[in-house]
Structure 1
Amino acid sequence: MDFPLARQRFYQEIRQPDEAIDLAKAALYLAQEEYPDLDAEEYLNALDTMAAEIKERLPEEAYPLRIIKTINQYLYEDLGYYGNKDSYYEPENSYLNQVIDRRTGIPITLSLVYLEVAKRLDFPMVGVGMPGHFLIRPVIDEMQIFVDPFSQGEVLFAEDCQQRLSEIYGRPIEMRPEFLQPVTAHYFLVRMLNNLKVIYLNQSDIPRSLATIERILLLFPDSPIDQRDRGLLYYQTGRWTEASQDLEDYLLQVPDAQDSTVVRELLRRMGREV
């Protein structure tokens, strides 16, 4: 099967060592499958321009909190970026080109804009994949602070993250150290794709659901849940050879899965004995 050109570009980007992956390019190649006329360079240039304009406003003594304050004023006050709470589950919120055009998005895509601008200011930051939310933090040894790009760049300490987590889940949640660890580029992209996967599955949009899962499996080929989900979509569309392969691989990886009985029954219907 021939992949679209955008998929090939995405694959070329992610097959590099994790630290060499350009997140903005990878995210734009994801978007190109949905928006074939998208010019990636146009949006990379837009990020360059944002950073250049912020650089002109930085104070002479550019301490971390001053840099964050300057970025926040530019993105949220001058450009009007905001977290899209009213239409959180719109797929557009997960595509970087749409986030830049509409100046709104969800935590992970607003974090991506912020990270890319900060990178261009030589102010390195990393993503923090907190459950149910996404934050970023500066790479600074002497202090640990977090920034919430979905909430106008609010600066948080670890205790604030605990409170934010409990607010999201509506009950007290125990903060674990791993919740505040930096994430890899591969994980960052999978978080973006998982958002789209949930949206498209809920919309019963099988072609887009399949395309999304296929790209997740490019990042993590042995993800059993995604092998299972792709197999189920193949089954629904009558592609039983591919469905059988995926579902058999799923059972090999997770033989005691809670849904193993259902999966085995599907395989029997397709004439496969497990």
Structure 2
Amino acid sequence: MTYENKESEHQASEDLTAENSTSDTAISETLVSEPLAEEAAPFLAIMNEKFDFDKRTLLDAALVIESEITGLYINKFEDSLRLQQLVIKSKLAAFESSNKEKLLALLDILYQQQGFEGDWKAFFKVKNALISQVFSRRKGIPISLGILLLDFLKLCDFEAKGICFPSGFVICVHLENEVLYVDPFLGEIVSWELLELKVRGQLGNHAKLTLDMLKPDSHEAIIKRYINVLKAAYIQAERTELALLCSDILLRLNPEDAFEVRDRGFLFQQLDCLSLARDDFEYFMQHHPKDPMVHILQKQIQDMNFDAQVIH
């Protein structure tokens, strides 16, 4: 089976879909137009240091985070996702093994036929980080698109893992005789040379691509990076309370992370919760007394006007 034969495969899949009285176009329109996450949900926090990342997919974990932060159900998204899975399964049914041709066909379905793409114009927007919005808009950033793509790769029986690469999230796909790397922002297989160019663009012209940079990361490490990206998006959008919630989730996963405590202190400071900000700054200084930030934090505390602070 070759990638060049995909037209006949797609035609057979469309015939199969037509027999079930549901066209691919109709399903795609449903996926795009169906409103997502409209119903209010109880504010239940389950993402913490006891969360079992080994038994949950990255997509599961990301949706747990989204549900908590937005306070909304994601059941409609899950219904749309199941429809999408049916479309992909039917279109790739002719492939007998998970090989390079099947991988290229999957990328073609998602990025060419269905229009998934990286959003260059609004890279740091919240809508490009929240998974349900990325799915409905067909636009996102490397880590949000990557989490979705990893789920589709698993659906299609590929052995694939995520990498927190210096320049952005990358996926490695293990085939029978080779390992391929996919850029989820572009929807393309990328070469070693292109990966090295990305490293130089991020770390400087003298940086070299190493095998250590291409080691897969754990689900927990990827989710922590995802939450940090989401936190940065909320900060840029000046939605400090939601950025603070992201920080709280990170500290539930690692309560002793003094650097995250420090960052939470800055968020408290923006919200005029000065006593809480001072406590976080002092916690950081106690644990990292020689850090260059200590002098800045001391000055921040000196400049705080506790008489004028907002009571929360």
Q: Supply the AA of the counterpart residue of 1:131.
A: P
The equivalent position to 1:175 in structure 2, one of 181, 185, 209, is: 209
> Could you tell me how far 1:5 is from its partner in structure 2?
4.0
* Structure 1: stretches of 5+ with no match in the other structure: none
Task: Give the aligned partner of residue 217 of structure 1.
Answer: 251
Q: Which range moved further: 246-255 or 125-134? A: 246-255
Q: 1:47 to 1:168 in 2, by over 3 A?
A: farther
Amino acid in the other structure paired with 2:45: Q
Structure of greater relative contact order (alpha carbons < 8 Å, 6+ residues apart): 2
Provide the rounded CA distance (Å) in 1 between the counterparts of 2:224 and 2:267.
19
Partner in structure 2 of residue 231 of structure 1: 265
Query: Offset at 1:269?
Result: 6.1
- Aligned pairs for 1:245-256 within 5 A: 245-256=279-290
Partner residue in 2 for 1:80: 115
Match of 1:123 among 144, 158, 173: 158
Residue 240 of structure 2 corresponds to 206
After superposition, where does 1:43-58 map in structure 2 within 5 Å? Answer: 43-58=77-92
User: What's the C-alpha RMSD, in Å, of the aligned pairs?
Assistant: 2.5
What is the distance in 1 between the residues matched to 2:304 and 2:78?
A: 47
Q: Distance between the aligned counterparts of 2:229 and 2:101, measured in 1?
A: 32
Which secondary structure state, in structure 2, belongs to the residue aligned with residue 10 of structure 1?
coil
Greater Cα offset, 134-143 or 90-99: 134-143
Shift of 1:33: 4.1
Change (3 A) 1:101 1:60: closer
Q: Distance in 2 between matches of 1:231 and 1:200?
A: 16
Structure 2: runs of 5 or more not aligned: 1-40, 306-312
Give percent identity, aligned residues only. 23
User: What is the aligned counterpart of 2:102 among 67, 75, 81?
Assistant: 67
- Are 2:44 and 1:10 equivalent residues in the alignment? no
How high is the TM-score relative to the length of structure 2?
0.75
Q: How far apart in 1 are the matches of 2:120 and 2:110? A: 17
2:172 aligned counterpart, secondary structure: strand
Cα distance in 1 for partners of 2:180, 2:64 equals: 31
Q: 1:252 to 1:141 in 2, by over 3 A?
A: farther
Shift of 1:170: 7.0
1:21 aligned onto 2:56: yes
Code of the aligned partner of 2:143:
I
**Structure 2 counterparts to residues 253-272 of structure 1, below 5 A:** 253-267=287-301
Q: Is the partner of 1:77 in helix, strand or coil?
A: helix
TM-score (norm 1): 0.85
Aligned residue pairs: how many?
Answer: 264
1:270–1:76 distance in 2 versus 1, CA, 3 Å: closer
Q: Using the TM superposition, name which of 132-141 and 184-193 deviates more.
A: 132-141
